[in-house]
Structure 1
Amino acid sequence: MTTPLPPVLRHPEKAHRPSTPGLPKPNWIRVRARSGNGFDRTQAIVREAGLTTVCQEASCPNIGECWEQGHATMMIMGDTCTRGCAFCNVATGRPKALDPFEPGRVGKAVASLGLRHVVITSVDRDDLEDGGAAHFVQTIRAIRHMTPTTTVEILTPDFLKCDPAAIDRVVDAGPDVFNHNLETVPGLYPQVRPGARYYHSLRVLDRVRQRAPSIFTKSGLMVGLGEDRLAVHQVMDDLRAAGVDFLTIGQYLQPTPKHHPVARYVTPEEFAAYRAVALGKGFLMVSASPLTRSSYHADADFQQLRAARSATNIRLGRQGDCAQ
């Protein structure tokens, strides 16, 4: 007789971490939970399709605003991650087998929500030979089939343990935006993102740019983890060297006392300064504010991103399709 596996703890890798009381939140990052017809409709569609959203799993502070507008970020390949990052509220453990019908359900949900732009992300799946690349491809294709005019933004894991060709297969599926977050400065990786490698993540973004220059590349940082200003500026330089178009910078918020503590709350004025520096370094677009998250206002941001590239191409006298 087989002994049943114990239930997966939400954060087993953090069970032995000391609890760190959170710092009092300043008034500029307080948000009010919203509800309304739009929020209820989004919630009903997500539930009916049996989908997971990063909005819920990662305890995003913007869920009320986004869901009221019908914008939900789908999280594919389950709700359990094979990594144990110290900042993340997604459950860690042994994931279930992939659901082959999930891409179709995502496509139907996108159609039901009437999304002009959708963000698809996932948990890390180090248990899969391709890291879940084929599942991303199938999801992109399902959305393209059901809503051909919807633009698709993907926020991927790093495919660290995979053949690099896995990244190529995702790129060849033709997402409009390929996002992979660096999350923090390299000096904090051992404490904050121990299962990842800073320079590998940079190579992922550079590989996308080299293979498909028409696809926008994007990456994001959290601040308030203990980094210093010059280290953030160096990350900006590294991202620009990899050809990244769009940078997001937001305040880290500690999900539970067992997660990495907030070192400090960065002021709105400091975020404005980061944005000015990043634009000066050549990013097409920068979103930097306390509540900025990777998929926050992604639809409107994508329209501005296309306009920025088009304007740059015109200024530089480049030919070709500027609207991609």
Structure 2
Amino acid sequence: MAVKPEWLRVKAPQWERVGNVKEILRDLNLNTVCEEASCPNIGECFNAGTATFLIMGPACTRACPYCDIDFEKKPQALDPLEPLNLAEAVRRLKLNHVVITSVNRDDLPDGGASQFVRCIQEIRKVSLKTTIEVLIPDLCGNWTALEVILSANPEVLNHNTETVPRLYRRVRPQGDYQRSLELLQQAKGLSPQIYTKSGIMVGLGETDEEVRQVMEDLRGVDCDILTLGQYLQPSPKHLEVKGFIPPSQFDEWRKFGEEIGFLQVVSSPLTRSSYHAEQVQKLMEKYPR
């Protein structure tokens, strides 16, 4: 793997705090995308007592070659205790904002929509002040399932476009760029009060012009929040990094995103879809709905 530049180096985490969070997660039999996807910000987020919960996993029904989540294991039946355990983790960690994401569960008729709803409902029971963000798969274009998730009224509906259309066949072979855009458009139409969000990873061979076009496409479906971050190769078997994008370019994309109307753009090499997601609370105060 290519040597990472200086701007991609992260501080060593305070393992005492990290260990405490991990202990709670293991005790409640929960998975986090922080661990499963080898996120570089795990130390910072765990030290802050935050985590992005990965439900219905850890096995995924898709095999995206950039992702470190396991697709070789067979997906298991949904755990009926998972929503209760997730809510208990939110209570123990005293989270003000929680992100719930999932593996792809194309084997389920609703893509797992009902499990998202149960998780949201259980969190509401223990912490009414906690804002909730759901980072969902494309549900194979099942907009009835999307409506089910939206009926639980999360504050943020996040779905990542991940890359530019030209690279979809290589990066997201089971995904569809237009379907992802339509999901965000459908979400805004069904629940205009909910903030919609998407994310792009760069360094896979895309051009500046292509990234800007995706940003414009997302604004075209009234997407509110955007994250842009550098792709990092989890292991030699995953897609190679085609280029390390300097921080100055991320600043340019952030400025462009703000110019074309995004309410919030989080753009830096280490940005991930859930990185500093709690900042949405400030956004909600500035742009109430």
* TM-score tier after normalising by the smaller chain length: over 0.9
Report runs of 4+ in structure 1 exceeding 3 Å deviation. none
Which residue among 75, 97, 113 is the counterpart of 2:93?
Answer: 113
Counterpart of 1:8 in structure 2 is none
- Report the CA distance between 1:307 and its aligned residue: 3.3
Q: How does 1:86-235 map to 2 (within 5 A)?
A: 86-93=65-72, 94-160=74-140, 163-235=142-214
Q: Deviations over 1:126-148 (max 9, x none)?
A: 00010000000001101111111
Q: How does 1:13-28 map to 2 (within 5 A)?
A: 22-28=1-7
1:314 — aligned with what?
Answer: none
CA distance in 1, matches of 2:187, 2:194: 8
Aligned equivalent of 1:69: 48
- Displacement of 1:259: 0.8
Separation (CA, whole Å) in 2 of partners of 1:38 and 1:64: 9
Between the aligned partners of 2:168 and 2:51, the Cα distance in structure 1 is 29
1:36 CA displacement = 4.0
What is the match of residue 34 of structure 1? 13
Q: 1:46 aligns with which of 21, 25, 45?
A: 25
Tell me what 1:303 maps to.
281
Shift of 1:249: 0.1
Deviations, residues 34-62 of structure 1 (Å, cap 9, x unaligned) = 12443222111111111000000000000
Q: Distance in 2 between matches of 1:163 and 1:252?
A: 29
Q: How far apart are the structure 2 equivalents of 1:257 and 1:39?
A: 27
- After superposition, the CA RMSD in angstroms is 1.0
Residue 316 (structure 1) aligns with: none
Note the C-alpha offset of 1:78: 1.4
Correspondence for 2:258: 279
* 3-state DSSP of counterpart to 2:80: coil
Aligned runs of 1:230-241 on 2, under 5 Å? 230-241=209-220
Could you tell me how far apart the structure 2 residues matched to 1:70 and 1:61 are?
Answer: 16
Question: Number of paired residues?
Answer: 288
- Runs of 5+ unmatched residues, structure 1: 1-21, 310-321
TM-score by length of 2: 0.98
Deviations 1:266-305 (A, max 9, x none): 0000000010111111000000000000111111x21232
**1:122 and 1:155 in contact (8 A); partners too:** yes
Which amino acid is 1:41 matched to? N
Which of residues 75, 78, 93 in structure 1 aligns to 2:57? Answer: 78
The alpha-carbon deviation at position 265 of structure 1 amounts to 0.2
**8 A Cα contact 1:285 1:308, kept in partner:** no
Q: Is the 8 A contact 1:59 1:255 kept in 2?
A: yes
SS of the residue aligned with 1:178?
strand
Identity %: 49
Q: Highest Rg: 1 or 2?
A: 1
Measured against aligned partners, the alpha-carbon deviations of 1:231-269 in whole angstroms (never above 9, x if no partner) come to 111101110011100000000000111111100000000
